[in-house]
Chain A
């Protein structure tokens, strides 16, 4: 009877998850969406204690100890993650998502590993194959996500590449598959083969992620998010729990779609992100750029904006690095007070994940109805007096439209170069993630404002206040 309760609570949880995800499709209902999903999770976890009524006979003597371990583990893992999640600054959220995602993948792999140590293990081949497949995907997601986290957190800085890397990756992957197949076939009894399987799977995740550059990490995290979902779904079948199957598969497909959307926004295929060494060759292929960069004072730029009738702001990750979102919004409010029409234009990959910039602006209090997607705002640039580019680079490079030699050719960009006047706030003359010269900066209608975004924006705010006085 208790088992029926467990099953029914799973159904409720699955329903709440899907409703929650659906609510998240609009900013107005999104917050209620996560609360719904949270209730679903709580119901499922509490009901999972009902599993105690129906444990394997061989595990019964250990049931009390296991109950203690479950409670302790829930408290430990939950408390740690809750605290770390509350404390992490918004700029660092992408890597925390990667870390939590890796933990989920690890948990899926652990479910499989525990099943393999059990004496009641090894029933039918399908069951074992599904269990192992989930374990393989979960392990890759675990180690890959940890590397992604370390890269975004600045703990690993260089992309690790060498000759024959793809061959090594292939061999390691084959070893994992082979070891898995032997385990499934019941050959290699004992712990040797399963250990080899897990080690190879984990190593593959590390090897796959190490050569990928920091700019591509969001796509990779999104992919591993889908992987973990898939692994959870498969382990859900292995333990015959439909809630895990539904939740895992929903995330698996949603995550895959999200990954493809992100890769598309960067004009890359997924295979290209995973298996090419972006950013290495591009710099050498650069020709000379005509024209020269001109620079201007922050106060002059501010005065121009104050007397313009429309301004579009293009924020990039550099804004977040300088922690200048609040200052920027202060500037926006001053401009609005002077009857300037201000819009924010967000490139799909601005920030470190799609939508990350929106979150960063939202944190600073910028209302979301000032914020426009690339497709909605791109036609407006030609009729706009001033485009203010802050800490963005590749996403406004017109070379993506014109220069077929450029590695970013074909990438959808914000047409900031079509505004009557462009100001670019930038720390120095460096290149963007893609390592290419930005033709926009050499344009006649473009002036550079050099300096830290925080300092430049403070000067601009100051200048406008003085005008008003």
Chain B
């Protein structure tokens, strides 16, 4: 089965526009006490670049390309893994004074 999965530049622009609004709206409501975990969390999310780097390395057809691709995947994996661990550690520290009582906030 052959599927056409390519996208036009116009669809790309639509995606960018909607994603930009999404990011703005999601962050706008965040209390400032969560800004640092949030910066770290968004830092983790752009770790998805590791998928792009994997794509690049799979398609590398020169030795130089393989080398750069390898570095790219190392960096991307580091971004994703490091971002996750640090965010997780930060968020694990937040707790209310009486557990369970403030859940309705």
* A interface residues (Cβ-Cβ under 8 A, vs B): 1, 3-4, 7, 10, 13, 17-18, 20-22, 24-28, 30-31, 33-35, 37-38, 41, 44-45, 48-49, 51-52, 55-56, 58-59, 62-63, 65-67, 69-70, 72-82, 84-86, 88, 90, 93-94, 96-97, 99-101, 103-104, 106-111, 113-115, 117-120, 126, 221-222, 225, 228-229, 231-233, 235-237, 239-255, 257-258, 261-262, 346, 348, 351, 353-356, 358-359, 362-363, 367-371, 373
Contacts and interface: CB of A to CB of B under 8 A. Distances in A.
Please tell me the size bucket of the interface on B: 35 or more
Q: SS class of chain A's interface: helix, strand, loop or mixed?
A: helix
B16 A249 contact: yes
Nearest to A234: B16
23 contacts: A10-B51, A17-B48, A21-B26, A30-B34, A44-B51, A69-B69, A72-B70, A85-B83, A93-B90, A106-B71, A107-B72, A114-B57, A118-B61, A225-B39, A229-B45, A233-B19, A239-B56, A244-B48, A254-B26, A254-B27, A355-B38, A358-B32, A358-B33
Contacts of A246: 15, 19, 22
A24 B75 contact: no
Nearest to A346: B33
A30 B7 CA distance: 34
Contacts of A73: 53, 57, 70-74, 77
A37 to B, nearest CB: 6
Contacts of A10: 51
A83 to B, nearest CB: 9
A62 B66 contact: yes
Contacts of A354: 32, 35-36
Contacts of A253: 19-24, 27
Contacts, number: 423
Nearest to B36: A355
B9 A24 contact: no
Contact of B43 (A30, A62, A104): A104
* Interface of B, helix, strand, loop or mixed by DSSP: helix
B96 to A, nearest CB: 5
A458 B37 CA distance: 30
Given A246-B19, A255-B39, A371 B90 contact: no
Contacts of B37: 24, 30, 34, 355, 359
Please indicate which of the listed interface residues A56, A222, A353, A368 has the most CB atoms of chain B within 10 Å of its own CB.
A368
A348 to B, nearest CB: 5
A117 B77 contact: no
Contacts of B92: 31
B50 to A, nearest CB: 6
A310 to B, nearest CB: 17
Contacts of B42: 21, 225, 229, 250-251, 254-255, 258
B54 A70 contact: yes
Contacts of A31: 88, 91-92, 94
Contacts of B9: 126, 237
A348 B36 CA distance: 11
